[in-house]
């Protein structure tokens, strides 16, 4: 039997794509589509055309430019929530348990890797629940202040996501080049 079933591999790669896309939307929001930077660009360019707008109007325009991109954050967010639910179901399969059985017999490094996976799953569960609460705050009758507090925590925990992804990819490069050759191709062809 393959080490990673086809369903687990498909899940991993779609999940990786969705998490990287979520990070990309945050990157765009904080850089090229930052409303602060773009409102200044819009206001100063309009001024050269003799159109004088207030800071508030510039903010509205800059946020309108950002809005279609940010809709992707919400869409990928729903996709992530569904993928996390599917991952819970995959725990009942051999591949889904692979990294979490016989933990005691593993060396310290492997134990840390498995703990890291449990850590990232907990973080992604938090990101999904907090994200869904923000998206459905009207239906949940939440006041603005509560949504704002949730957003602050959601935004802070985002750091844990990019740190995990960076460590995961760096760790795999090291593993491929030392004692775990083929670890990445195993996740592509299923391994033995
Ligand atoms: C794009 C480059 C990526 C590559 C080449 C890659 C490759 C792999 C490989 C080879 C494994 C198995 C490692 C092992 O058995 O310890 C794995 C596991 C895992 N990867 Fe990735 N990955 C990538 C991106 C991501 C991203 C962006 C995430 C998002 C959080 C992610 C989340 C995970 C998780 C949670 C596991 C553990 C699976 C489990 O046993 O439950 N990966 N990845
Ligand atoms: C990998 C997972 C996720 C990461 C790294 C992430 C990251 C972030 C960050 C950094 C912000 C704050 C942006 C800013 O104000 O500059 C944010 C806001 C938000 N996220 Fe996520 N998020 C994730 C998952 C989700 C999920 C699953 C949902 C659910 C649909 C979601 C919905 C939202 C919403 C509604 C906001 C508030 C947007 C606003 O106030 O305009 N996120 N996210």
130-170 tens-digit pLDDT: 999 999 999 999 999 999 999 999 999 999 999 999 999 99
Pocket of ligand 2 contains residue 161 by CB under 6 Å:
yes
Atom in ligand 2 nearest the alpha carbon of residue 19 = 1
The Å distance, Cα 187 to ligand 2 centre, comes to 28
- Ligand 2 centre distance from Cα of residue 128 (Å): 9
pLDDT for the residue numbered 1: 75
Ligand 2 close to Cβ of residue 157 (< 6 A): no
CA distance 24 to 69: 10
CB 69 near ligand 2, within 6 Å? no
Nearest protein CA to atom 31 of ligand 1, as residue: 16
pTM: 0.96
Tell which residue, 69, 83, 65, has the closest CA to residue 27: 69
Cα of 117 from ligand 1 centre, angstroms: 9
Where residue 63 falls among pLDDT bands split at 50, 70, 90?
very high
Tokens read off for 165: 């992804």
Asked whether the beta carbons of 93 and 31 are under 8 A apart, the reply is: no
As a whole number of angstroms, the distance between CA 86 and CA 83 comes to 5
Residue 182 region by backbone torsions, left for phi larger than 0, else alpha for psi between -120 and 50, else beta: left
pLDDT at site 80: 98
Is residue 178's pLDDT more than 80? yes
- Across the chain, mean pLDDT equals 97
Per DSSP, helices labelled H in the chain are: 6-30, 35-48, 55-90, 94-97, 108-135, 144-177, 183-189
pLDDT in tens, 15-35: 999 999 999 999 999 999 999
Task: Tell whether ligand 2 has an atom less than 6 A from the beta carbon of residue 131.
Answer: yes
Tell the residue nearest (CA) to atom 38 of ligand 1: 117
Q: What is the pLDDT of residues 91-130, one digit of tens each?
A: 999 999 999 998 889 999 999 999 999 999 999 999 999 9
155 lines ligand 2 (CB under 6 A): yes
Would you place residue 192 in the very low, low, confident or very high pLDDT band (cuts 50, 70, 90)?
confident
């Amino acid at each position: 039997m393959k080490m990673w079933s086809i369903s687990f591999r498909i899940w991993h790669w779609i999940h990786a794509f969705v998490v990287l896309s979520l990070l990309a939307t945050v990157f765009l929001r904080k850089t090229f589509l930052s409303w602060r930077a773009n409102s200044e660009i819009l206001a100063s360019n309009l001024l050269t055309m003799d159109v004088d707008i207030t800071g508030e109007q510039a903010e509205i325009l800059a946020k309108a430019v950002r809005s279609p991109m940010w809709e992707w954050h919400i869409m990928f967010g729903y996709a992530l929530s569904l993928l996390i639910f599917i991952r819970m179901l995959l725990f009942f399969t051999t591949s889904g348990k692979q990294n979490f059985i016989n933990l005691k017999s593993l060396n310290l490094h492997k134990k840390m890797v498995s703990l890291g996976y449990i850590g990232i799953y907990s973080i992604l569960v938090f990101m999904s629940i907090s994200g869904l609460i923000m998206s459905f705050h009207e239906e949940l009758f939440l006041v603005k202040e509560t949504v704002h507090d949730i957003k602050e925590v959601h935004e802070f925990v985002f750091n844990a996501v990019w740190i995990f992804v960076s460590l995961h990819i760096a760790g795999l490069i090291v593993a491929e080049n030392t004692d775990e050759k083929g670890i990445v191709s195993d996740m592509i062809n299923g391994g033995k």
